[in-house]
Amino acid sequence: MNIRVGIVGISGFGGGEALRLIASHPSFELVYAAGEGSAGSPLMDRFPGVPDKLSELVIEKWDPTALPKLDVLFASLPTGSSAEALARVPEEVKIVDIGGDHRYIEGWSYGLADVWPDQIQGRSRIANPGCFPAATLNALAPLLTQRLIEPSNIIIDAKTGISGAGRGGGASKFGYAESNENVQPYGLLKHVHMPEIAKTIEQLSGGSAAGLVFTPHLVPMTRGELVTIYCRGTATTEQCLDAARSFYADRPFVRVTTMPPQSKWANGSNLCFVSYAADPERNLVIAIGVVDNLGKGAAGQAIQNANLICGLPVTAGLEGAPVWP
């Protein structure tokens, strides 16, 4: 079965990773790639390693009203710049929005694909989670649904590779020399990912209000993301691990480990690793979540969502093992 797909925002890191994954997807055929900066150039100029079968494709100027026949459009645009344009995409084109404009917006399903695949299947407008929410919510979902932690008191300390700051941001603020050999905290007590994390926590915990502290840090690596989450709860480490094992029993992309996972374990893949360490006497549960910020944190989960809305096996095109070392 051939499903015709397109990407808008091809020059960003999320769009580029979508291209990589689509290129070896068994059912998706890339027929459209658009981007502002690079419109007019052959795909190969921008991606010298692009597979031969795509080497003739030319990057087009993004125009939502002049699309070729498409089954699915992947949008990876900067936050704030997709809402209006995507509203003009024809109804019959399914959309997975990797950008942030449609999360918890009416008419769009929040694509937390390993947690609630049933709420995604059959839909046609999917808002892909941000990278921090992907790592955080996958780690917390089993604890929240089992009421093993208090939703009102959650501290998320996040570490991400520099590609998480985006290509635009990267060019203007995150030069190599300044970012290398550096840990940079940013956005203390305010960060754009907070609302989608809070809203999802409330849903998963049956409506209890979420109380969150979220501190992101840039660490000197290209890809990878690890969140260390400090929660209140009296469960043991084993109870937390068991809750996660059972929650993710049928989920091929989430792995529960007894050792604390390392960010690199997921690089280049759509995997998510979660682990837990608890001290019931101190009312403490530590949850750790690991994703590739461009994989499960962006394009990987987007393909997974597209598989779900197209009725494909959820693992189609996503079976590649992580790149190690």
Q: Which of residues 43-102 bind a second copy (CB under 8 A)?
A: 47-52
Compare residues 93 and 134 and give the one whose CB is closer to a second copy: 134
From the list 121, 124, 228, 236, which residue makes contact with a second copy (rule: CB under 8 A)?
A: 228
Q: 218: which strand partners?
A: 160, 184
Which part of the chain contacts a second copy (CB under 8 A), choosing from 71-79, 112-120, 125-133, 317-325?
317-325
Quick check: 197 binds a second copy (CB under 8 A)? no
From the list 32, 74, 174, 247, which residue makes contact with a second copy (rule: CB under 8 A)?
A: 174
Which part of the chain contacts a second copy (CB under 8 A), choosing from 10-18, 74-82, 104-112, 301-309?
10-18
Which part of the chain contacts a second copy (CB under 8 A), choosing from 58-66, 151-159, 200-208, 304-312?
151-159
Quick check: 215 binds a second copy (CB under 8 A)? yes
Residues 110, 200 contacting (CB under 8 angstroms): yes
Q: Please state, in angstroms and rounded to a whole number, the distance separating the CA atoms of residues 137 and 114.
A: 10
Residues in 240-279 at the binding interface with a second copy, rule: CB under 8 A: 252, 255, 257, 260-269, 271, 273, 277, 279
Which part of the chain contacts a second copy (CB under 8 A), choosing from 111-119, 120-128, 142-150, 166-174?
166-174
From the list 37, 107, 220, 313, which residue makes contact with a second copy (rule: CB under 8 A)?
A: 220
Ramachandran angles phi, psi of 176, nearest 5°: -60, -50
Quick check: 162 binds a second copy (CB under 8 A)? yes
Over the range 129-150, which residues count as b (16 or more CB within 10 Å of their CB) and which as e?
bbbbbbbbbbbbbbbbebebbb
Quick check: 238 binds a second copy (CB under 8 A)? no
Tokens linked to 212: 């969150």
Quick check: 135 binds a second copy (CB under 8 A)? no
Shortest separation between residue 49's beta carbon and a second copy, angstroms = 4
Residues 23, 51 contacting (CB under 8 angstroms): yes
Quick check: 25 binds a second copy (CB under 8 A)? no
Q: Please state, in angstroms and rounded to a whole number, the distance separating the CA atoms of residues 79 and 298.
A: 13
Tokens linked to 195: 């609302």
Shortest separation between residue 106's beta carbon and a second copy, angstroms = 29
Quickly count: other Cβ atoms within 10 Å of residue 206's Cβ: 10
Ramachandran angles phi, psi of 45, nearest 5°: -65, -40
Indicate which residues carry an active-site annotation: 131
Quick check: 132 binds a second copy (CB under 8 A)? no
Compare residues 243 and 291 and give the one whose CB is closer to a second copy: 291
DSSP E strand stretches across 9-104: 28-34, 72-75, 94-97
Q: 212: which strand partners?
A: 154
Quick check: 305 binds a second copy (CB under 8 A)? no
Quick check: 170 binds a second copy (CB under 8 A)? yes
DSSP state of 121: T
Compare residues 168 and 206 and give the one whose CB is closer to a second copy: 168
Q: Please state, in angstroms and rounded to a whole number, the distance separating the CA atoms of residues 187 and 158.
A: 12
Q: Please state, in angstroms and rounded to a whole number, the distance separating the CA atoms of residues 20 and 31.
A: 14
Q: Which amino acid is at 125?
A: R
Compare residues 104 and 230 and give the one whose CB is closer to a second copy: 230
Shortest separation between residue 323's beta carbon and a second copy, angstroms = 5
Q: Which amino acid is at 65?
A: T
